[in-house]
Amino acid sequence: MSLKILCCLLLLGVTVLAGCQSQAERQAAELTALIEEDPNNVSAYINRCAVYARSGAYAEAVDDCTAALERTPNSLHALQNRAYAYQQWGKAELAVADWETLLGLIDSSESLLTYYQKHRPEELAFYREQVASSR
């Protein structure tokens, strides 16, 4: 077999394998590249956390949201995503701790509280319910 044909077959194989990747795997790979480029890219950690959580990789999701919170301690999105990952992973106490922190941030900010009451009342009620039911 000629080198040219072998190279073409190898390229074809790589293309076929790339097509086997799930959308979540591709998204995670793209976000990983962003994190490698800028290890302080909080949005990339939060988004990769969401991708991992949706695909059932809860430990990885928690790790990413924790990394985001180490860089931006009051990130609502990181807290929301990590609480979701903990809940899905069966770690209710840890999920509740994140919801309590989240509610503390929301309740301490009049503008955030107004926003959640106006635009996300179901979400706010869910957080309050989860915290209340854990006591």
> Could you report the per-residue pLDDT of 10-25, keeping only the tens digit for each?
444 433 344 546 898 9
pLDDT of the residue at 71 = 98
Residues sharing a CB contact under 8 Å with residue 134, sequence separation 6 or more, in sequence order? 92, 93, 96
In which region does residue 69 sit, left (phi positive, over 0), alpha (psi from -120 to 50) or beta (all else)? Answer: alpha
CA angle 16, 20, 25 (to 5 degrees): 130
What integer is the mean pLDDT of 118-128?
91
Give the pLDDT band of residue 105 (cuts 50, 70, 90): very high
Residues 55, 32: Cα–Cα separation, whole Å: 16
User: Does the pLDDT value for residue 9 go beyond 70?
Assistant: no
Per-residue pLDDT, averaged over 23-40, amounts to 95
Residue-wise pLDDT tens digits, 50-97: 999 999 999 999 999 999 999 999 999 999 999 999 999 999 999 999
Name which of 133, 118, 130, 43 is nearest 83 in CA terms: 130
Name the residue type at position 25: E
Residue 7, token pair as written in the block: 């190279």
Query: What pLDDT shows up at residue 21?
Result: 67
Sorted by where each starts, the structural domains of the chain and their CATH numbers stand as: 21-133 (1.25.40.10)
Q: What is the reported pLDDT for 134?
A: 85
Interatomic CA distance for residues 36 and 82, integer angstroms:
21
